[in-house]
Amino acid sequence: MAFLPTAEPEELAECMVAFANSDGGTIILGVDETGQLSETIWDEEAEGAIKGAAALCAPPIASRLLSMDTAHGSVVGIQISRGSELHSLADGRILIRSGSQNRILSGAEISQLATSKSAVDFETDSVPGANRSDFDAEILEEYLAKRETRGVSRVGPLSDLLFEIGAVNAIGQPTVAGILLFAKNPQAFLPQSGIVFVKFPSTEPRGDEGGAGYGRRDEIEGPLARVVERVWNVVWEEMRVGAVVNGLQREELTEYPPFAVREALVNAVAHRDYRIRGRRIEVRMYSNRMEVISPGGLPGFITVDNIVEEHFSRNPRLVNGLFQWGYIEELGLGIDRMIEEMVQAGHNPPDFKDTPHSFSVILSNQRQRKAVPKWTRSMNERQTRALSFVQDNGSITNREYQQLCPDVSSETLRLDLVDLVERGSLLKIGSKKGTYYILK
């Protein structure tokens, strides 16, 4: 969502291009970034601004005018759909939405985004030989019930809803997204859509005594919601579970943080490149790590370096479907929490590996440090790392924090420590160069 205090066509065009090149979004006119009304903008003025902005965008961008109620009254909103093409401004700039800002892409990022845009429509392609009778009525009813628990009630006939969410095309034929989400047997049409789970007894892909083989191998199939459930159950069965006692409380301690595992599995199912045939998602468990390997490299302008800050979906309809099902808790925040959960449990952060043909998430089961208390969940990964350092060493200085996070500016790290002091997590001792921090 973007807030524009005025209806200037130039600023509006920048937001329209940024949202169309990303995952879409809503622009609110007449409201500043703090959520306060700045001036009254009428529908006619908004329509004029949209026309002026549209003339600055190429190719044309689909938009819809909305009337939105706020605590301060009604305001005008503009809904921008994700574009299937690469959009630019009249001056040649290509932007994407990054957090609450519009960011100009570099040449390499533009090439990567253009390649991904050409693949975006694959999930809306019709599936040869499939028809509505291939949908599972039970799965559809479950999906509708899940939507209602999220406050999204069904209006109109089911056929209209299926078209709206991209499960069927305009003439009612099932799409790739529809088959993957709702078919009784999606693998009959898209055999690459299952998961292969393999457990190896050591740190190498070998069987006992170093020979060929494995300890367990499962092929997991079904619609995506069932695939997620089944692979999670298999992984849970194979995860070692221990316990720790804090005071009188006995807490279960799993080999890997459950949320981190589920997020890696759901991301693989939601974001893999389903155009790649002949290869399924692979989940490999070793004695010291778990690897979740997804066919297809990172989509759009996403890289290993910006994966926490930036968000772009290769399969937006599948992502929305799994979100409505409840497997994606909050859009765009899963990677952040996966990292936090690993660090809080005493593990190293996940290792991400990207190649042109695959993306891997590697979780280590080796605990490198003491687990960080659960009350750190609202902190960023850098702050949880700082608290872990203080737990192990008794205190932390600004210099030591910079050594922990060498790629982050000193001002950002200073603000991190100020925030931890204001939260009551750390106590500041000394001043100037002699300053250090301890647990409060």
pTM, whole model, 2 decimals?
A: 0.71
| pLDDT value, residue 192 | 95
Residue 393 domain flag: yes
Dihedral sign, Cα of residue 329, residue 335, residue 339, residue 345: positive
Backbone angles phi, psi at 121, to 5 degrees: -80, 0
Q: In terms of domains, do 96 and 131 share one? A: no
Q: Determine how many CB atoms are found less than 10 A away from the CB of residue 179.
A: 28
Same domain, 95 and 141: no
Question: Given 331, 353, 368, which residue is the final one in a domain?
Answer: 368
Length of the chain: 440
Dist. CA 435–CA 111, nearest whole Å: 47
CATH number at residue 412: 1.10.10.10
171 with 287, same domain: the answer is: yes
* Within-domain flag for 35: yes
pLDDT at 373: 58
pLDDT of residue 236: 94
Are 13 and 60 in the same domain?
A: yes
Please indicate, yes or no, whether residues 237 and 134 belong to a single structural domain of this protein: yes
Nearest in space to 17 (alpha carbons), one of 86, 70, 66: 86
Same domain, 417 and 327: no
Within a domain: 213: yes
Of the three residues 69, 104, 139, the one that is the final residue of a domain is 104
Strand 195-199 with 281-285, pairing: parallel
Q: Residue 233 has what pLDDT?
A: 95
Please tell me the predicted confidence (pLDDT) of residue 244.
Answer: 56
Boundaries of domain holding 427: 374-439
Q: What is the token pair recorded at 411? A: 């001002």
Domain identity same for 58 and 82: yes
Query: Can you read off the two tokens belonging to residue 271?
Result: 């974001």
CATH number for 305: 3.30.565.60
- How far apart CA 256 and CA 292 sit, in angstroms, is 13
Tokens coding 68: 């939105």
Residues 40, 169, single domain; the answer is no
CATH of the domain at 27: 3.30.950.30
194 and 326 in a single domain? The answer is yes
Q: Count of alpha carbons within 13 Å of 142, Cβ hemisphere only? A: 16
Residue 109 lies in a domain: no
Q: Are residues 279 and 329 in the same domain?
A: yes
- The tens place of each residue's pLDDT in the chain, 440 residues long, gives 888 888 899 999 999 999 998 888 899 888 887 777 877 888 888 889 999 999 999 998 988 888 877 666 788 889 998 887 889 999 999 999 887 889 999 888 888 788 776 655 789 899 999 999 999 999 999 999 998 888 777 778 999 999 999 999 999 999 999 999 999 999 999 999 999 999 999 898 887 766 667 889 999 999 999 999 999 999 999 998 765 555 555 666 789 999 999 999 999 999 999 999 989 999 999 999 999 999 988 887 888 888 887 788 889 899 999 999 988 876 666 888 888 888 888 888 899 999 988 999 999 998 876 665 555 556 787 888 888 888 888 899 998 999 888 888 888 888 889 888 888 888 888 777 778 898 87
100 and 205 in a single domain? The answer is no
pLDDT of residue 369: 61
Helix 381-393 × helix 334-344 angle, to 10°: 10
Q: What is the pLDDT of residue 219?
A: 96
Domain boundary among 368, 397, 425: 368
Q: How many CB atoms are closer than 10 A to CB 440? A: 11
Q: State whether the Cα torsion 103-82-114-195 is positive or negative.
A: positive
Please tell me whether residues 293 and 194 are part of one structural domain: yes
Task: Provide the domain count of the chain.
Answer: 3
Distance (Å, whole) CA 273 – CA 116: 10
Asked whether residue 110 is assigned to any structural domain, the reply reads no
Distance, in Å, from the CA atom of 413 to the CA atom of 93, rounded to the nearest integer, reads: 32
Q: Whole-angstrom Cα distance, residue 134 to residue 205?
A: 38
